[in-house]
């Protein structure tokens, strides 16, 4: 007999600063056939989508779609606009993002979309795992058209979308190496969202991953260790209520909403999750994600490193 998932509280009752950016699995189920809604799956496992996905969802590959193939940076405005138009996105389309790993890569995609000024964004609370645990359907069948497999949502897009995006703005929610160094020198808050083992310099990656990616271990001097997963209820895979988040980030670690905060991890995906929680759930207005993170900082010659 299938296990009944732990019930979740209504998003509107959790006290978030911007509850409108989160939608429940039921809301998504009710809008699967809504032509004004497009559902995007963004996973750490870039092959997971092909094993099954929400009916009508389209895939966003964080490597192939969002990153420049040559330099370590994101694609430019023209390429991002083409990407969205090819998936049928119009100016009035609501984009719902979800993915594996409690929405690591969904919040990463959300953050990249915001770099280009995309406004009508939502995140499915609980991600792929919540949807599956609730026994909701996954689409697993594709048809061969034009020499390749095409999923239902691709076949529904009869014409390109008309959305226009702005030039990528790297100044407001993105941090670079030199800005992080300035943050250190000024004594402003930095949040390291990696595992405690990575923070202490015992590992260069999480326990279940290859121990690679940087030449030095440790953390940026002065950073506070607040693992990204603390924002999630492990029983439901959904975000904790605002009261619990206030306790974690403000009462326990002294973050203040009037301060400029930089969050980082290893390559920017886990920290985008914390950026989302601070920015949209708690309403912190000045949070930037350092996507260079430890794979950049831990490989720099002469970069200051701290260990407990």
Are residues 85 and 134 both part of a single domain? yes
**What number is the average pLDDT over the span 21-39?**
97
- Separation between Cα atoms, residue 191 and residue 255, nearest integer Å: 9
143 and 182, same domain (yes or no): no
Confidence of residue 1 (pLDDT cuts 50, 70, 90): very low
The pLDDT of residue 5: 87
CA 10/CA 5 separation, integer angstroms? 15
CA dist., res. 145 & res. 136, Å (int): 27
Instruction: Give the model confidence (pLDDT) of 113-153 as tens digits.
Output: 999 999 999 999 999 999 999 999 999 876 545 555 555 55
User: Of 23, 66, 184, 265, which one is the catalytic site residue?
Assistant: 265
Question: What pTM value is reported for the model?
Answer: 0.94
Specify whether 265 is catalytic: yes
Structural domain that includes position 113? 11-156
- Let me know if residue 62 belongs to a domain: yes
Whole-angstrom CA distances from 166 to 36, 169, 195, 288 are: 21, 8, 35, 19
Give yes or no: residues 141 and 180 share one domain.
no
Residues 137 and 258 both lie in one domain: no
What percent of the chain has pLDDT above 90? 88
Mean pLDDT of the chain: 93
d(CA 123, CA 200): 32
Let me know whether 178 and 150 are in one domain: no
Last residue of a domain, one of 156, 183, 218: 156
Residues 183 and 109 in one domain: no
Domain annotation covers residue 161: no
State whether 139 and 204 are in the same domain.
no
Q: Does one domain contain both 15 and 151? A: yes
For the segment 88-112, the average pLDDT, to the nearest whole number, is 97
Together in a domain, 230 and 259:
yes
**CA-based angle 179:180:181, to the nearest 5?**
90
């Amino acid at each position: 007999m299938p296990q009944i998932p732990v019930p979740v509280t209504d998003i509107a009752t959790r006290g978030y600063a911007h509850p409108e950016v989160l939608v429940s699995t039921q809301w998504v189920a009710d809008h699967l056939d809504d032509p004004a809604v497009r559902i995007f799956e963004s996973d750490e496992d870039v092959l997971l989508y092909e094993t099954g996905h929400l009916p009508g969802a389209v895939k966003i590959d964080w490597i192939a779609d969002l990153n420049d193939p040559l330099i370590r940076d994101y694609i430019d405005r023209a390429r991002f606009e083409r990407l969205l138009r090819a998936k049928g996105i119009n100016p009035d389309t609501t984009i719902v993002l979800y993915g594996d790993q409690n929405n690591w890569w969904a919040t990463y995609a959300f953050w990249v979309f915001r770099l280009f000024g995309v406004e009508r964004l939502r995140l499915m609370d609980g991600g792929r795992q919540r949807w599956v645990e609730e026994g909701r359907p996954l689409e697993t069948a594709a048809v061969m058209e034009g020499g390749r497999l095409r999923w239902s949502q691709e076949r529904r897009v009869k014409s390109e979308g008309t959305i226009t995006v702005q030039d990528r703005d790297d100044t407001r929610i993105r941090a670079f190496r030199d800005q992080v160094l300035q943050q250190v020198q000024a004594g402003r808050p930095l949040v390291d969202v990696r595992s405690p083992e990575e923070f202490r310099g015992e590992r260069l990656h999480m326990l279940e991953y290859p121990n690679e990616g940087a030449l030095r271990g440790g953390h940026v001097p002065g950073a506070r260790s607040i693992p990204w997963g603390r924002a999630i209820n492990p029983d439901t895979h959904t975000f904790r209520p605002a009261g619990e988040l206030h306790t974690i980030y403000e009462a326990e670690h002294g973050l203040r909403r009037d301060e400029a905060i930089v969050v980082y991890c290893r390559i920017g995906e886990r920290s985008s999750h914390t950026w989302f929680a601070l920015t949209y759930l708690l309403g912190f207005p000045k949070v930037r994600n350092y996507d260079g993170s430890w794979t950049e900082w831990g490989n720099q010659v002469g970069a200051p490193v701290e260990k407990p």
